[in-house]
Structure 1
Amino acid sequence: MGRRKSRDKTLSQNKNLSEAEVVMEESAETASLEEPLETLAIVGGDQTSADYYFDSYSHFGIHEEMLKDIVRTKTYQNVIYQNTFLFKDKVVLDVGAGTGILSLFCAKAGAKHVYAVECSQMADMAKEIVETNGFSNVITVLKGKVEEIVLPVTHVDVIISEWMGYFLLFENMLNTVLYARNKWLINGGIVLPDKASLYLTAIEDAEYKEDKIEFWNNVYGFDMSCIKKLSMTEPLVDTVDQNQIVTNCQLLKTMDISKMSPGDASFTAPFKLVAQRNDYIHALVAYFDVSFTKCHKLMGFSTGPRSKTTHWKQTVLYLEDVLAICEGEALVGSMTVEPNNKNPRDVDIMLKYSLNGQHYQVSRTQNYKMR
């Protein structure tokens, strides 16, 4: 069972680059020198990809998508409103505040003061939103990078952030949260969310793989398979139908945000995916869960194929092989995840897998790059 072809979004077409931002990027080269320097900075100029990360969040469309993600936003709202004991009379740091929605939730829940840190141009809008809603006396919006700002207090009681990217770790904002934790969080303070887990499963995806990958073998009678090799290395962010799942789902890694070190985001994890039916495997699929364990009762959400769809969707890694697998047979291997050396907001993934089945035997290593 393949996915609908209307869901044709690669990573670069998603969270990092909206249509409006493409226009902004293209217009950067022709921007007049008479334009204000601030305008030139927003448009693009000589930005690195790391700098562009922040400007991509200056566009309201990205925030609209995230705010309309009911699973994401309502979970945070419920965590805060149903656990006011965590926020009442507490000093809160909101890392990567965006429009300031989490800060507003915290202020409404009785926080003593909230420091909302946002590096993109959206910080200016957040200040206006805070004023419009009458919370200027409770919420202070600080524009800048967490690693560079000066916080008016020496310690905070709570750090809250929606730092998760595609594949959990894409964009690598986690290290910024850990930096803030180490610098400002008081002993006994809490980080929300405090647990994040990455999972892996395998799917049948013949129709979509044919459309996205095999297409390059014959393009109007010409062999463009060199692009096919490139397309195989870039994971696809898309929604997977739960009926496509062929194997069990396995936990790869759980991260305790309150205790982990930045280096823990790089890891190698083994997996064993056991087929639950006779079928073909065309791709592996990664997704994540987040948990808020300090609440009255455990709260959180999943971005998996069997859960309500979020803007994170799932991450699909196509295999070079089409694996014929029988019920009870196991695809075994390991996945290595680490930030890219040149741009730590990108993620390098190395997948090793092998199958010794009745109809198919293979052992292979594939490399992917989320960018």
Structure 2
Amino acid sequence: TREDYVRTGTYYAAVIENRADFLGRVVVDVGAGSGILSLFAAQAGAKHVYAVEASEMAEYARRLIAGNPSLGQRITVVKGKVEEVELPEKADILISEPMGTLLVNERMLESYVIARDRFLVPNGKMLPTMGRIHMAPFSDEYLFVEIANKALFWQQQNYYGVDLTPLYGSAFQGYFSQPVVDAFDPRLLVAPAIFHPIDFTSVKEEDLYEIEIPLSFIASVGSRVHGLACWFDVLFNGS
């Protein structure tokens, strides 16, 4: 997809532009998937890359890496969980794509942090280095109506002889308690955003189990607030 293309291109730039961090270094790719980041690290001159992948994707990574032998000779695919696998040496640098929905969903960050504690040399580098969750209230009448309309089904008093209205309130609540995962127009925001940083180099695994973000906003315009818009970015602090 276009999103994958943009994200992979960003990773490629982050690795190649920080070539000095990879040259002659040992790299661990955490949750390597297809192995594409491992191949980028090899392109940047890594001495050796360990591509750790727990799922069946490890087999596809092996095939992709074998099909690029000039790079693949410096890459070892290790099938298993980062919590369990053993590697023959420590890593100078970790790379990963650990971001789930709103950064922390899918619990991939924990694996990245565990890999840091198990495999990274002291003061080793992590790319990405830090994530930020941004939040701001938004006003979107169209989205509100679209979601409210989903609950209209439960306003029927004679649905094949059954009155559905006793469940209308619960249905309304249910639809509005689901997050909408989509792009949005920044012009819908009604107050400056706040952000919550997560430093991957120092955060503890248990800090990720429950994240509290105190919210305080000063609206820049007078309008009805329909919800909280959330997004994230990650920073690559290389040389």
Q: Does 1:246 align with 2:190?
A: yes
Q: Deviations over 1:233-291 (max 9, x none)?
A: 2212111111211111112x211111111122233222221212222110111111211
Q: Does 1:193 align with 2:128?
A: yes
The structural deviation recorded for 1:294 is 2.6
Match of 1:128 in 2: 63
Structure-1 separation of matches of 2:146 and 2:44: 49
The structure 1 residue matched to 2:203, chosen from 245, 254, 260, is: 260
Q: Does 1:75 align with 2:19?
A: no
Match of 1:139 in 2: 75
- Count of residue pairs the alignment pairs up: 228
The structure 1 residue matched to 2:223, chosen from 273, 279, 291, is: 279
Give the aligned CA root-mean-square deviation in angstroms. 1.7
SS of structure 1 residue aligned to 2:92: strand
Structure-2 separation of matches of 1:255 and 1:99: 26
CA distance 1:165–1:113, shift in 2 (3 Å): same
Structure-2 separation of matches of 1:66 and 1:184: 30
**For residue 140 of structure 1, what is the amino acid of its counterpart?**
T
SS of structure 2 residue aligned to 1:284: strand
Structure-1 separation of matches of 2:64 and 2:150: 47
**For residue 210 of structure 1, what is the amino acid of its counterpart?**
V
Structure-2 separation of matches of 1:79 and 1:182: 23
SS of structure 2 residue aligned to 1:176: helix
Greater length-normalized contact order (CA 8 Å, ≥ 6 residues apart): 2
Bigger strand fraction: 1
**For residue 193 of structure 1, what is the amino acid of its counterpart?**
P
Structure-2 separation of matches of 1:97 and 1:181: 15
**For residue 250 of structure 1, what is the amino acid of its counterpart?**
I
**For residue 194 of structure 1, what is the amino acid of its counterpart?**
T
Q: Deviations over 1:276-317 (max 9, x none)?
A: 22221101111112111233xxxxxxxxxxxxxxxxxxxxxx
Structure-2 separation of matches of 1:235 and 1:290: 21
Percent identity, aligned pairs only, is 34
Q: Deviations over 1:121-150 (max 9, x none)?
A: 111111010011113311111112111222
Structure-2 separation of matches of 1:210 and 1:143: 47
**For residue 80 of structure 1, what is the amino acid of its counterpart?**
V
Bigger helix fraction: 2
The structural deviation recorded for 1:157 is 0.6
Structure-2 separation of matches of 1:276 and 1:235: 24
Q: Bigger CA drift: 241-250 or 103-112?
A: 241-250
Contact 2:52–2:80 (CA under 8 A) maintained in structure 1: yes
Q: Deviations over 1:201-254 (max 9, x none)?
A: 011122112212343144573535222222222212111111211111112x21
Q: Deviations over 1:323-361 (max 9, x none)?
A: xxxxxxxxxxxxxxxxxxxxxxxxxxxxxxxxxxxxxxx
Match of 2:87 in 1: 151
Match of 1:162 in 2: 97
Q: Does 1:227 align with 2:171?
A: yes
The structure 2 residue matched to 1:104, chosen from 39, 54, 57, is: 39
TM alignment of 1:1-371, pairs within 5 A: 67-68=4-5, 70=6, 72-134=7-69, 135-153=71-89, 155-219=90-154, 221=156, 222-223=164-165, 224-225=167-168, 226-251=170-195, 253-265=196-208, 266-295=210-239
Q: Bigger CA drift: 87-96 or 204-213?
A: 204-213
SS of structure 1 residue aligned to 2:125: strand
Contact 2:151–2:175 (CA under 8 A) maintained in structure 1: no
Structure-2 separation of matches of 1:213 and 1:163: 34
Contact 2:22–2:44 (CA under 8 A) maintained in structure 1: yes
Structure-1 separation of matches of 2:29 and 2:2: 19
Q: Bigger CA drift: 87-96 or 194-203?
A: 194-203
Structure-1 separation of matches of 2:9 and 2:229: 25
